[in-house]
Structure 1
Amino acid sequence: MNTIRTATTITTLGLVAAMMAGCASAAGSSPAEEEPVTELRLGYFANVTHAPALVGLEEGLFADALGDVDITTQVFNAGPAAIEALSAGAIDATYIGPNPSINTFIQSAGESAHIVAGAATGGAALVVRDGIDAPADLEGTTLATPQLGNTQDVALRSWLADEGYETDTTGGGDVSITPTENAQTLTLFQQGDIDGAWLPEPWVSRLILDAGAHVLVDEADLWPDGEFPTTVLLVRADFLEQHPTVVEHLLEGHIAAVQWIADNPDDAPGVINDALEAETGKPLDDAVIERALQHVTFSVDPHADTFQTLVENGLAAGTQKEGSIDGLFDLTLLNGLLEAAGEEPVSAAGLGEE
């Protein structure tokens, strides 16, 4: 039997009951008061850490929840690119890592977007070549991350600083960090042009199983109880304000996707792999998808209590500005659905509405 790590306690029957009952929106608007919308534009990455998006699309769960509202998608390599699209109004919501969510919120003085749910925790690590067996072996090496300022980029820079290494955002310092698209990172590692990378799944498992890398740092080891957010669901602030019912329906599809993963541990790897193949043109080896899923937990809880630490890490890494994240979270729609399903609400940790 396949092992799928989930932290959701939502029952399918309870969720269906909640959907049938129809929960009130966070903004207090009724559908009649909302501006009509016929399309929701959703961003996500072709990563295992974005499995709720992959499953929600592949199994038609978003389409079922959204009804007459069409869902269109755009695939990104990393968070900063998704934020650029969100800020430009090219997409309405996106699955994304926490650090780019923090960045856009601070840079916009809280006006850009809000996190409405969690999606995944875990599933990120620093993997390196043979001959690197301890932090002391990293001086003079070149390491990759998905994109400057993305969640794994911040994690690597913060960890290196804790280990006494200096880095900068232009690739200089004691350890050179080269932001690189994930697929290219695999190629560069296989060619010996980089020494390692801090990546999300399935790229950690791909470098290990396809290219002979080994884990130097599992990010889970750096957090209490091994829990750290990898993926959240972020919605553009004006879209959330103008179309709360549509966002609520998106969340219904999201919750259903997380629950589907929990309920279908034998089928989930194949469904996720089919979705990845559709985006990348090639499926993952069974061993890769199996290993990747063992290191990711899927949950609607965004673990808001970790975000102040993430802010401090971003400041230490030099990839974000100082500012407040009060108001970053709006979990009222999510908690309305959970309450209607008889489930415990999730916390905004004092950083927004819940």
Structure 2
Amino acid sequence: MPTTPHARTRALRPRARRTALSAVLIASAAALAGACAALDTPADQGAEAAATSGEATELRLGYFANITHAIPLIGVADGTYAEALGDTTLTTEIFNAGPAAVEALFADGLDATYIGPNPAINAFAKSDGEAVRIIAGATSGGAQLVVREGIDSVEDLRGATLATPQVGNTQDVALRAWLLENGLRTSVTGGENDVLIAPQENAQTLDLFKQGSLDGAWIPEPWASRLVVEGGAKVLLDEKELWPDGDFVTTHLIVRTEFLEQHPETVAKLLEAHVSTGEWIAEHDQEAAQAANTAIESLTSKKLGDDVLLRAWSNLRPTNDPVAGSLQTSADHAAEVGVSDKVDLKGIYVLGPLNAILAERGQEPVSAAGLGTE
């Protein structure tokens, strides 16, 4: 019988599990209080409350039905998250792209969400650095520019129509920045374009590409692989080619700052589930791919074909590391292409709770690259 992270958690002796978790919660709460105290923001005022508040009655969590969200896909589906949260009710919502998830978070419809870097940057900037914090990485890699036959270079894209998941989302910014770097203009305000970008839902992108109405798309997995395998597209650029060592943040976990301050134990339990699921994925690579696919099917009523699944899975890396060094570059790109203003990201990361859990498990800490408290 396949082993799931949920089954593995249940196999632990209850007393040992409770003792270990209690130790982590205490360490995480202390780390959180220290993190808030270190930030010169209104979060200072919540530091004392963070150490004493009770657990939340409900955690509202967002994520996408994309393979780049493998950790929540698997961990929510098999019960790891619900079990880790204990008496806290887990409520989930599925989004197509990051800006919509941020809107829900700002409207107090979410407490935490898995999201790409640029929507998180925008949320941080629009709230003057107050509304959100990044608390963990989730995925590196897994985004490509795929195009129709006949397009063999960036210059061949002049006059083309390309899709992205949503204006201002991570892939949208990456595409606009890369085109600008190569001398091709795009506009988010109806100005002149050398390349027309048509943001839309990923499923619509696949249909329109098959119909010949799109020349290509810069999209995350599994959609890049679906366009290649099902639509006959080819890869013009794998985004990892643009980053040192091919490592860049595709998905990370953010939380409302207020929720983080008020319910540190709940956030620690969320991170426990996140880390446990990531460990299981690392130990069960191909089984994890199938588990993520099953979760996608349950959410969308459509299962990825084996060719699509294997191709997509090989292009990404689930990780606790938020690859913080790539975040400022993404922020700079967004400003360059007119999606957002220039932003100082200092304080966007609170990684103390995550690092407390990693230390408890004998793992190396992850870095905020100078943009938060380590």
Q: Shorter-chain TM-score category?
A: over 0.9
Provide, for residues 72-93 of structure 1, a one-character-per-residue CA deviation record: whole Å limited to 9, x for no partner.
1000000000000011110100
What's the CA shift for 1:30? 8.9
Cα contact 1:38–1:69 (8 A) shared by 2: yes
Provide, for residues 189-226 of structure 1, a one-character-per-residue CA deviation record: whole Å limited to 9, x for no partner.
00011100000000000000000000001000000000
1:238 aligns to what SS in structure 2?
Answer: helix
1:327 aligns to what SS in structure 2?
Answer: coil
Cα distance in 2 between the residues matched to 1:159 and 1:115: 25
Greater per-residue helix proportion: 2
Cα contact 1:18–1:337 (8 A) shared by 2: no
Cα distance in 1 between the residues matched to 2:229 and 2:96: 21
Normalized against structure 2, the TM-score is what? 0.88
User: Which residue is equivalent to 2:68?
Assistant: 49
Change (3 A) 1:32 1:300: closer
What's the CA shift for 1:19? 2.5
What's the CA shift for 1:23? 3.4
Cα distance in 2 between the residues matched to 1:340 and 1:87: 33
What's the CA shift for 1:33? 2.5
User: Which residue is equivalent to 2:40?
Assistant: none
User: Which residue is equivalent to 1:282?
Assistant: 302
Cα distance in 1 between the residues matched to 2:200 and 2:50: 43
User: Which residue is equivalent to 1:76?
Assistant: 95
Cα contact 2:141–2:246 (8 A) shared by 1: yes
User: Which residue is equivalent to 1:6?
Assistant: none
* 2:194 maps to which of 160, 174, 186: 174
Cα distance in 2 between the residues matched to 1:144 and 1:311: 21
User: Which residue is equivalent to 1:144?
Assistant: 163
Q: Which amino acid aligns with 1:310?
A: S
Cα contact 1:209–1:288 (8 A) shared by 2: yes
The RMSD of aligned alpha carbons is 1.8
Share of identical aligned residues, percent?
Answer: 53
Matches within 5 A, 1:108-119: 108-119=127-138
User: Which residue is equivalent to 1:21?
Assistant: 23
Provide, for residues 250-277 of structure 1, a one-character-per-residue CA deviation record: whole Å limited to 9, x for no partner.
0000001111111112311221111101
Cα contact 2:24–2:356 (8 A) shared by 1: no
* 2:367 maps to which of 336, 347, 352: 347
User: Which residue is equivalent to 2:43?
Assistant: none
Change (3 A) 1:341 1:289: same
Using the TM superposition, name which of 134-143 and 24-33 deviates more.
24-33
* 1:93 maps to which of 108, 112, 132: 112
Cα distance in 1 between the residues matched to 2:55 and 2:149: 57
Provide, for residues 129-182 of structure 1, a one-character-per-residue CA deviation record: whole Å limited to 9, x for no partner.
010011110000000000000000000000000110011014640000010100
1:22 aligns to what SS in structure 2?
Answer: helix
1:165 aligns with 2:184: yes
Cα distance in 1 between the residues matched to 2:87 and 2:50: 13
5+ residue gaps in structure 2? 1-10, 34-47
User: Which residue is equivalent to 1:306?
Assistant: 326
1:61 aligns with 2:71: no
Dislocated runs of 4+, deviation >2 Å = 15-24, 26-33
* 2:356 maps to which of 315, 336, 351: 336
Cα contact 1:23–1:340 (8 A) shared by 2: no
Cα distance in 2 between the residues matched to 1:178 and 1:31: 43
1:89 aligns to what SS in structure 2?
Answer: coil
Cα distance in 2 between the residues matched to 1:104 and 1:188: 31
Cα distance in 2 between the residues matched to 1:237 and 1:32: 14
* 2:249 maps to which of 221, 229, 252: 229
Q: Which amino acid aligns with 1:233?
A: L
What's the CA shift for 1:37? 2.0
5+ residue gaps in structure 1? 1-11
Cα contact 1:18–1:341 (8 A) shared by 2: no
Change (3 A) 1:31 1:140: closer
* 1:216 maps to which of 233, 236, 241: 236
Cα distance in 2 between the residues matched to 1:170 and 1:130: 30
Change (3 A) 1:106 1:139: same
Cα contact 1:48–1:293 (8 A) shared by 2: yes
